[in-house]
């Protein structure tokens, strides 16, 4: 895989900060837009109990990700002296 400035072919990486910022902004717009569309389409079904269930599910997913991904990754980069 070649690395060059402004690469646009499949498999190329970019070294341009502006292009990276552009892709970051484009990908971050999707979540709020999906939330707005979901809220408009399903506003009749968004009860308090449904929102509580959804929040509990998301919290469970975050806990599992923390246990299985974040904690082991952080332990790889720490020394035994820090853990004492």
Q: Residue 43: what pLDDT?
A: 86
Burial class (CB in 10 A: 0-12, 13-18, 19+), 46: exposed
Q: Residue 32: what pLDDT?
A: 92
Q: Residue 11: what pLDDT?
A: 59
Q: Residue 13: what pLDDT?
A: 66
pLDDT at 3 over 90: no
Model pLDDT for residues 7-31, shown as the tens digit of each residue: 555 556 667 888 889 888 998 998 8
Angle at 22 (CA atoms; ends 19, 28), nearest 5 degrees: 140
Q: Residue 1: what pLDDT?
A: 42
Q: Residue 58: what pLDDT?
A: 95
Q: Residue 41: what pLDDT?
A: 92
> What's the DSSP call for residue 9?
S
Residue 56: CA count within 13 A, CB half-sphere: 6
pLDDT at 6 over 70: no
């Amino acid at each position: 895989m070649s690395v060059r400035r402004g690469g646009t072919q499949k498999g190329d990486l970019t070294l341009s900060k502006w292009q990276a910022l552009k892709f970051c902004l484009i990908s971050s717009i999707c979540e709020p837009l999906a939330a707005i569309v979901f809220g408009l389409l399903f506003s009749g079904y968004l009860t308090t109990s449904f929102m509580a269930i959804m929040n509990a599910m998301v919290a469970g997913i975050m806990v599992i990700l923390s246990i299985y991904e974040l904690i082991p990754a952080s332990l790889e980069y720490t020394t035994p002296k820090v853990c004492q």
